[in-house]
Amino acid sequence: MILNLETVPPFYKNYVKQIEETDLLQALRISGHRCLELVHSIPEEKADFRYADGKWTIRELLCHMIDGERIFTYRALRFARNDKTPLAGFEENDYAPQANASGRSLQKIAAEMAHLRSSTIDLFESFTPEMLIRKGMANNNELSVIVLGFIIAGHETHHCNVLSERYLSGK
């Protein structure tokens, strides 16, 4: 199934545009692989680095990525099961300080990311074509299950680009 960008709410288009693959499962596999390669390249002594005052540490950013994937996947599950209950948004800046990021090593966070992505792929593999086009409301946006899958891959890719460009570039 090919994704029509016209069905992606404006707030999420930047994420989805970062994905080159047209096959959702391939997009999830490739973005996950690339992200883990990047995370594994980060020395533990950089885990608490912030590129500017008020910005998240590397660990906090990675935990935000985990939280985001879990929330987007939950939304996809609800919509795939034809649940029509509108879902609330989440405030990422409220979640980040509560993630116990500083209590986890980069290695542990990377392992959690790998397990989560594997589970996400398993879930999306279980969806029928009919389930993938089902829609629901989340954070006042109408989203289909397939769009949520591409948002997951794009959100991760976006934050890996931020990690490379702002945290790890040495500038």
**Average per-residue pLDDT in the chain?**
95
Comparing 36-40, 98-102, 146-150, which segment has the lowest mean pLDDT? 98-102
The mean pLDDT value for 33-45 works out to: 97
**Confidence band (pLDDT; 50, 70, 90) for 126?**
very high
Tell the residue number behind the tokens 């999306």, with chain if given: 124
**Cα–Cα distance for residue pair 141/12, rounded to 1 Å:** 10
Beta bridge partners of 135: 144
The pLDDT tens digits of the residues spanning 54-81 come to 999 999 999 999 999 999 999 999 999 9
Give percent of the chain with pLDDT exceeding 90.
91
Q: Which long-range contacts (CB under 8 A, 24 or more apart) does 37-41 make?
A: 38/160, 38/163, 38/164, 38/168, 39/106, 39/109, 39/110, 39/113, 40/110
The stretches of the chain forming alpha helices (DSSP H) are 10-17, 24-40, 58-80, 92-95, 106-126, 129-132, 145-162
As to burial, measured by CB atoms within 10 angstroms (0-12 exposed, 13-18 middle, 19+ buried), residue 34 is middle
The pLDDT tens digits of the residues spanning 110-119 come to 999 999 999 9
What is the pTM (predicted TM-score) of this model?
Answer: 0.95
The pLDDT tens digits of the residues spanning 84-112 come to 999 999 989 889 889 999 999 999 999 99
Q: Tell me, what amino acid is at 138?
A: A
- Buried b / exposed e over 104-115, threshold 16 CB at 10 Å, is bebeebbeebbe
Q: Of how many residues is the chain composed?
A: 171
CB atoms within 10 A of CB 83: 13
CA separation, residue 49 to residues 57, 91, 98, 100, 136 (Å): 5, 22, 18, 16, 38
Report pLDDT for 2.
Answer: 61
Instruction: Give the chain's domains with CATH numbers.
Output: 5-167 (1.20.120.450)
**Confidence band (pLDDT; 50, 70, 90) for 1?**
low
